[in-house]
Amino acid sequence: MLYVTCALIIHQEKILICQRSEKMKLPLKWEFPGGKIEAGESKKDCLIREIKEELHLDIEVNEPLQMVEHHYIDFSLQLFPFVCTVIAGELTPQEHAQAIWVSRQQLMNYDWAEADIPIVKEFLSGNIIKD
């Protein structure tokens, strides 16, 4: 089982989504950015580190959403999503094919990684737009 965090980063009423590269598992699927929790690392610290490494953004980690457990054919994960805001930095994707800001209304227009779909649905069901 992999333990992974992800960030729903909200900035100017847009949400950051990332497309996995062709070299990654689940190639070209869309996801909320994040990464694996390292030994001894808190979920919030993991998210701050991963977003800095992958996107060159400094974030504030705010409220958590529901954890998602998902079983793909070749691996399983527990995904811990958090609503976040940008503090500083300039978006510079390091690993993803692309990273874009979209409106809440556009979220369902993308080919999401299966584990991220319940997070998209939870986000859309609430009024979580803070900036």
In the predicted model, what is the mean pLDDT of the chain? 94
- Please give the pLDDT value at position 128: 57
Backbone angles phi, psi at 122, to 5 degrees: -65, -45
The pLDDT of 26-50, averaged and rounded, is: 97
Task: Answer yes or no: is pLDDT of 20 > 50.
Answer: yes
Q: Which amino acid is at 82?
A: F
- Please give the pLDDT value at position 126: 79
Question: Is the Cβ–Cβ distance between 97 and 28 less than 8 Å?
Answer: yes
- Domain 1-123 matching CATH 3.30.1300.10: the answer reads no
Question: Is the Cβ–Cβ distance between 68 and 119 less than 8 Å?
Answer: yes
